[in-house]
Amino acid sequence: MGPPGAGKGTQAKYIAEHFGIPAISTGDIFRANVSDGTPLGVEAKRYMDAGEYVPDEVTNRMVRNRIDEPDAAEGFLLDGYPRTLAQVEELDGMIKFTGHQLDAVLSLVVDKDEVVSRLLQRAQIEGRADDTEDVIRRRQEVYLDQTEPLIQVYKERSLLVEVDGLGEVEEVTKRIFDALDVVPE
Ligand code: B4P
C-alpha cells in the first residue's frame, strides 16, 4: 500500500522476484487491458484518466480471476489492491476460499510533495494519461478518502509493516527486506 507514486510497482517487482511469486498489479492489468482495447480496458480507462478508482465489482472480479491462475497457486504479491474497504472484504473471502493467508501488508510512507514530483517526472518519461497535475491531485484525494483508512484496519490485525519510501530505490528495497526479515540473495 501507499499513496499514488509511493513506489508500489517499483518495489513489488523486487519483492516478488525474491520470493519467486507473481506480482499482481491491478494498475498494470488495467493498463494492459486499455492498450489492448478490451471491454474491461474501455471501462477502466474512463475512471483511470479521471484519477478515480475503477468500480469494486470490476476490480474484484479481475483479481479473483488472476489469483485463480496456476502461477499464483503457491502465493502472490498484490500491488495496489485492496484499495477500498469493499476490496478488503472481498480479499478476505478469496483468501479463505483458496486456503492462503495474508502474511504482511506493506505500507510505503512517502510525503505528498515527493510523490507529486515523482509522478510529474514519470509523466515526462512515460506519458501516462493519469500523471497530469490535476489528475494527480484527484488521485491523492481519492487515496486519502478511500485507501488510507485501510492502514488502520491492517494495523489492528497486526499485519501492517510500515517502511519509509524516501531515498534511492535500492535503499527502500533494503528497508523492506529488513522489515520483512528477509536476506536478499
Ligand atoms: P497504480 O498503477 O497502482 O498507480 P500508482 O499508485 O501511481 O503507482 P505506484 O505507487 O506503483 O508508483 P510507481 O512504483 O510506479 O494505479 C493506477 C490507477 O489504476 C489508479 O489511479 C486507479 O484508477 C486504478 N486502480 C489500480 N488499482 C485499483 C484498485 N484496486 N481499485 C480501483 N482502481 C484501481 O512509482 C511512481 C514513480 O516514482 C515512477 O516513475 C518510479 O520510477 C518513481 N520512483 C519509485 N520509487 C522511487 C524512489 N525511491 N525514488 C525516486 N523515484 C521513485
Q: What is the Å distance from ligand 1's center to 92 Cα? A: 23
Residue 98's pLDDT band, with cuts at 50, 70 and 90, is: confident
Lowest average pLDDT, out of 11-25, 89-103, 156-170, goes to 89-103
For ligand 1, the distance from its centroid to the CA atom of residue 76, given in whole angstroms, is 18
Q: What is the pLDDT of residues 110-153, one digit of tens each?
A: 998 899 999 999 999 998 889 999 999 999 999 999 999 999 99
- Positions marked catalytic: 8, 83, 122, 128, 139
Which ligand 1 atom sits closest to the C-alpha of 26?
A: 27
Range of the domain at 114: 8-177
CA-based nearest residue to 83, from 136, 162, 4: 4
Reported ipTM exceeds the 0.85 cut:
yes
Give Cβ neighbours of residue 75 (< 8 Å, ≥ 6 apart): 19, 21, 100
79 CA: nearest ligand 1 atom: 3
**pLDDT tens digit string along 161-171?**
999 999 999 99
Q: Report yes or no on 148 lying in a domain.
A: yes
Q: Which atom of ligand 1 is nearest to the CA of 52?
A: 23
Whether residue 92 is contained in a domain is answered as yes
Considering the domain boundaries, does residue 185 fall inside one? no
Kindly state the average pLDDT of the residues 10-20.
95
Q: How many domains does one find in the chain? A: 1
Asked if the model's pLDDT at residue 34 lies above 70, the reply is yes
Confidence band of 181 (pLDDT split at 50, 70, 90): confident
Does the residue 160 lie in any domain?
yes
Indicate whether 19 belongs to any domain.
yes
Mean pLDDT over the full length of the chain: 94
77, β-bridge pairs: 23
Residue 160: CATH number of its domain: 3.40.50.300
Is residue 182 one of the residues assigned to a domain?
no
Answer whether 3 contacts ligand 1 (Cβ < 6 A): no
* Distance from the alpha carbon of residue 62 to the mean position of ligand 1, in angstroms: 18
Give domain status of residue 101, yes or no: yes
- Confidence class of residue 185 from pLDDT cuts 50, 70 and 90? low
Residue 68 lies in a domain: yes
CA pair distance 105, 162, nearest whole angstrom: 8
C-alpha grid cell, residue 98: 483458496
3 confidence band (pLDDT: 50, 70, 90) = very high
- pTM to 2 decimals? 0.92
| Chain mean position to CA 130 | 15
